[in-house]
Amino acid sequence: TEGAKDPHANGLSSVIPGWFSEISSMWPGEAHSLKVEKILFQGKSEYQNVMVFQSSTYGKVLVLDGVIQLTERDECAYQEMITQLPLCSIPNPKKVLVIGGGDGGVLREIARHSSVEKIDICEIDKMVVDVSKQYFPDVAVGYEDPRVTLHIGDGVAFLKKVPEGTYDAVIVDSSDPIGPAQELFEKPFFQSVAKALRPGGVVCTQAESIWLHMDIIEDIVVNCRQIFKGSVNYAWTTVPTYPSGMIGFMLCSTEGPPVDFKHPVNPIDEKECQKSVRPLKFYNSEIHTAAFCLPSFAKRKIGPK
């Protein structure tokens, strides 16, 4: 991958010794840095460089090809939002598919819903799953739910084989579109997601930052408006350790029973949540609705037509 050719591939900085700096051609001219207490794991899988380090203020950090995937301190702001935004927007989700998401955090979040009967996950890189189980037990705990089936393989190929109308919701928890996740941002992939969903089913995909990647987001929006005949919306959350401190999601529904993403019809039950691994840290119904409000510059480009 591009990251692997980069002299900063693992992000261990020669600029500030003892710090990790996230240097990438995807965000030229800036690099967020974290102080490293200890490197816990470094490996190279068939697909990417994998590293885990203990940071001094964000807990343990998972890095793929020099790019931060999650930290123990702020993963809640991503995992809860990418999962609860779609699942709280439809009544009684039963079958859910996760593409990517090898760390297991999205599984942990889906498991909060008692209506869910089946959870499939297709992650390309087994090393991510193994490393997460070893170093991030509070995230990988998602794998312990008996409703989960793990498929190791390419999400693009997996979706092509899914019978039409199988899932109520698909969550695409991918890395950036450089490396193995590239195709997960392209039109044919969105077409197979739409086919795999039942009428009125929903998809939520990681959709980058309005500060850094408006061009990528505009392309995704154009493709999604052609493919998903229900609704197409961009929502966002703050994640301090992601480039520019925020990340967005595309939320779309297929033609069928209408889905109004801004007004959750399936609010998550407090009592149900207390039985889960841990209470929600970030998500609530107010933040759900607020997540769809866009700054004016973004609204002009990707707001409702």
Unique residue bearing structure tokens 């008996």: 146
CB of 129 to ligand SAM, least distance (A): 8
Residue from the set 24, 174, 192, 205 that interacts with ligand SAM by CB under 6 A: 174
Name the one range near ligand SAM by CB under 6 A: 75-83, 112-120, 160-168, 196-204. 75-83
Residue from the set 109, 125, 168, 176 that interacts with ligand SAM by CB under 6 A: 125
Residue from the set 20, 53, 78, 167 that interacts with ligand SAM by CB under 6 A: 78
Q: Which of residues 153-172 bind ligand SAM (CB under 6 A)?
A: 154-156
3-state secondary structure of 228: coil
Q: Which of residues 10-69 bind ligand SAM (CB under 6 A)?
A: 69
- Paired with 253 in beta bridges are 202
Q: What are the start-end ranges of the E strands in the chain? A: 19-21, 33-44, 49-55, 60-64, 67-71, 95-100, 118-123, 148-152, 167-173, 197-206, 232-238, 246-253
Residue from the set 148, 184, 202, 232 that interacts with ligand SAM by CB under 6 A: 184
**Catalytic annotation on 173?**
yes
Asked if 102 touches ligand SAM (CB under 6 A), the answer is: yes
Asked if 72 touches ligand SAM (CB under 6 A), the answer is: no
Where do contacts with ligand SAM occur on this chain (CB under 6 A)? 69-70, 75, 78-79, 99-103, 105, 122-125, 128, 154-156, 173-175, 180-181, 184
Residues designated catalytic: 173
